[in-house]
Amino acid sequence: MPVGLNHYLVLSAILFSIGLYGALSKRNAVVILMSIEIMLNAVNIAMVAFSRFIVPALLTGQVFAIFIMVVAAAEVTIGLAIIIAVYRGRETIDVTNINLMKW
């Protein structure tokens, strides 16, 4: 059975759902960050798959995927830095306890 577009999209959807679940349900901020990375990579897979199967002559999807990776790397850097700063201040990275920004 040849691997087609649908297979990639299903994989992408599964990864995205795992990431979304992780991001919404985990308490540990680092894990949430990792989950977000998973969601971004799911998007990358979908992008590259679309590019490969629909407009193979253009590399638009791949270019986009590289941009997303760069952005993701930057985001992780800042995210981890924030988490470390929060940990230094509050001795925890449990997001349910980080709730200063409420009424």
Partner 1 sequence: MAPELIWLIFFLPLASFVVISFVFKPFLKDKPRISGYSTIAAISGSLVLSVLVLLSVIAAPEHELLMPDINWVIVDGVVIHLGLMVDSLTAVMLLVITVVSLMVQVYSQGYMHGDPGYHRYFAWMSLFTASMLGLVLADNLILTFVFWELVGLCSYLLIGFWFHRKSAADAAKKAFIVTRLGDFGFLVAILALYASTGTFDIAELHRLAITGALAGTTLAWAAIGIFAGAAGKSAQFPLHVWLPDAMEGPTPVSALIHAATMVAAGVFLVARMFPLFENSPEALTTVAVVGGVTAIFAASMGLVMNDIKRVIAYSTISQLGYMMLGLGTGGVAIGIFHLFNHAFFKALLFLGAGSVNHATGTFDMRQMGGLRRAMPWTYATFVIGALSLAGIWPLSGFWSKDEILASSLAAQPALFYLALATVLMTAFYIFRAAFMTFGGEYRGGNGQPHATHPHESSPVMVAPMVVLSVLAVVSGMANVTGGFARLLGHGEGHGFIEGFFGILAHPLPWLSLALAGLGIFLAYAIYGAKWLSAERIGRMFSPLYTMLYQKYWLDELYENVIVRKILLKGIFAGLERLDNKGVDGVVNGVASGTIAAGRGIRRAQTGQLQLYGLVIGIGILAIVLSLYLAR
CB atoms within 10 A of CB 68: 16
Q: Are 67 and 59 in contact (CB under 8 A)?
A: no
Q: Which stretch binds partner 1 (CB under 8 A): 3-11, 58-66, 77-85, 93-101?
A: 93-101
Q: How many other CB atoms are there within 10 angstroms of residue 79's CB atom?
A: 17
Contact status: 102 vs partner 1 (CB under 8 A) = yes
Does the protein bind partner 1 through residue 98 (CB under 8 A)?
yes
| 24 near partner 1 (CB under 8 A) | yes
The CA distance from 18 to 15, in Å, is 5
48 Cβ partners below 8 Å, 6+ apart? 8, 61, 62, 65
Q: Is 95 in the site for partner 1 (CB under 8 A)?
A: yes
Minimal distance, residue 46 CB to partner 1, in Å: 15
String of contacts with partner 1 for each residue 4-23, x by CB under 8 A: ----------------x--x
Does 99 bind partner 1 (CB under 8 A)? Our answer is yes
